[in-house]
Each structure stands twice: as C-alpha cells, then as structure tokens.
Structure 1
C-alpha cells in the first residue's frame, strides 16, 4: 500500500496535469482519482479476501487562472502561419517536466538563435525521477522556445521550433 505522502504527491501531479482520470493498482490495492470541476476525488480500495474498505477524500482545488504569457503570440496573421510551416518542431517524447538546463546553476542548453545539429541536447524532460536528454534531431537554428522551465509537458507537445538548414 502507498504511504499517505505518496498519495498526496500523486494527487498534486494529477491536479497539475491535464489528466482527468487516473487508476493505480499494486499488491491488491487500487487507487482511482477523477477530476470533477474544481475538486479531485480520491478513492482508495483494498482488494483482499475480506470485504473491500473504501475511503473517499474530496479536496477542493484552486481553479487555474489563465496566464497572460500567450498574449504576444495570440494575434497570428497568415504571414506568421506561412513562416512556421517550414519550421521543424522538436516535440516531447513523453509526459514529464521540462528543464532548459542540466541544473539550476548551469546555463540553458540552447536559446533563440542557437545553432543545433542532429545530436545537440536541447533540454531535459524528467519523468519518474529519470532525466531524459532530448536531442534536436535536425540541423538548424532555434527560432522559438515553446515551453517554460519547470513546466509539465505532454507527449507530443512541441518544445522548440527550428529553422532547418
């Protein structure tokens, strides 16, 4: 059975992600979480020979507010769309946390204007305490960085736009 601190961490991660439903089974125990409007409902069941015990905990969660970060890119013209059509997108190969540098003290792997090759490391995506280096896989120049340091990213989410050479 998971410890209460581990369950709290799972609740926090689910709350911060776009996942609406999560189920976890281990050693005859089952945890099922569902997001409903502004609440996260947690159901813990022990599946053993005895009748199941069900604990339901509902915690109100704050409603995320819109960040004004995307205001600069909101008014896109057809000319801007045409420019991005020839750009290569470096996408996240997994769900995890985006890091622009190897440590808080180190400089970012790349910035806008950086030249990259196929094997240039552009960022790290951390998933389940494993730090995965993400390579550019294309030769070119970084045009735009689409993720913030420490941001949760989804599988297939674009992280960088690269102008291929």
Structure 2
C-alpha cells in the first residue's frame, strides 16, 4: 500500500500537469485520480481482506481526508488480497523510477536494448522512460538474465511499476 507522502507527491504531479484523469496499480493497491474544479482533494482508502477458512470478509470503511488545494483530485486506494504473489520470488524486478512512457530502444527503428534471454550487468541500459520531453535511461542495477519484459513499447508506466524480471547471477 502506498504511503501518504507518496500519494501527496502523485497528487502534486497530476495537479501541475495537463492530465485530467490518472490510474495507478502497484502491489495490489489501485489509485484513480480525476481533476475537477473546486478547492479540496478527497482521499478515499478502502481495504479488503478475505479469510480462507469460513467465508468471512473484513472490510474497513472508507476514510475520507480533506486536503486544501487549488483543484480537486479524487484519489481511491483499494488493497487487494495478497494471493497475487509471484511464484518466483528469487527474481529481481527492475522498476520505473518515475511516471512516463516506456521505450525499449533509443530510436523507433533501432533494436531493443534488451530482450528475453539478454544478459545484463549493473550498469546496462535496459530501456528509456520519457517524462516531460526528457529521455531517462534506466539501468539494470543487477547482474543477470532478462526473464520477462512486463510492459510494451510506448506504454505509459507508473512510479515503481515493474518493467523487467531478471534472474540474478
């Protein structure tokens, strides 16, 4: 689940951009922001957990927190059960350090930096994430082999979103 500070940073980024609606999923949490005209931000958090033995469900009622800003941005956070844990926990995730557009190669007609089966070192460039006309090269930060590419070329990615799975050496 995202921390309050991370949610505030996302709100600021969306508020200062021309984006009207924003959706983000990370580790079972889902955030949806939509700009409206007004003077406050509504933050709604809903947490759901299920117990496997008898069919029982624990639901925490939504908590609404008002934060004054120039525009209204509605934020909904919903935690999902931890059943979606990866089978291979020994794999390293290369995640996006920012919100932007994922590019697998330096130019549209060039080969991808890495593909499934590619060997990478800590300083190997694996992709580019473009944010506000700045092209940021993303490094592997681990030595190993690319096992899976989790996003498509040209796809919008979120802060902390996994981009690649790497089998460390």
TM-score, L = length of structure 1: 0.56
Match of 1:20 in 2: 33
Partners of 1:88 and 1:142 lie apart in 2 by 9
Can you list the C-alpha shifts for 1:110-142, whole angstroms capped at 9, x where unaligned?
A: 000000000000000001110000000000000
Match of 1:136 in 2: 140
Match of 1:160 in 2: 164
Unaligned runs of 5+ in 2: 1-16, 25-31, 37-68, 75-83
Match of 2:56 in 1: none
Residues 145/123 of structure 1: CA separation in 2 closer, same or farther (3 Å cut): same
Question: Is the 8 Å Cα contact of residues 125 and 134 (structure 1) preserved in structure 2?
Answer: yes
Q: Quote the offset at 1:15 in angstroms.
A: 3.8
TM-score, L = length of structure 2: 0.55
Q: Does 1:32 align with 2:71?
A: yes
Query: Tell me, what secondary structure is at the counterpart of 2:136?
Result: strand
Bigger CA radius of gyration: 1
How many residue pairs were aligned? 106
Question: Is the 8 Å Cα contact of residues 95 and 162 (structure 2) preserved in structure 1?
Answer: yes
* Higher normalized helix content (fraction of residues): 1
Question: Is the 8 Å Cα contact of residues 21 and 34 (structure 2) preserved in structure 1?
Answer: no
Unaligned runs of 5+ in 1: 1-8, 24-29, 36-77
Moved over 4 A (4+): 16-19
* Higher normalized strand content (fraction of residues): 2
Matches within 5 A, 1:26-105: 32=71, 34=73, 81-82=86-87, 84-105=88-109
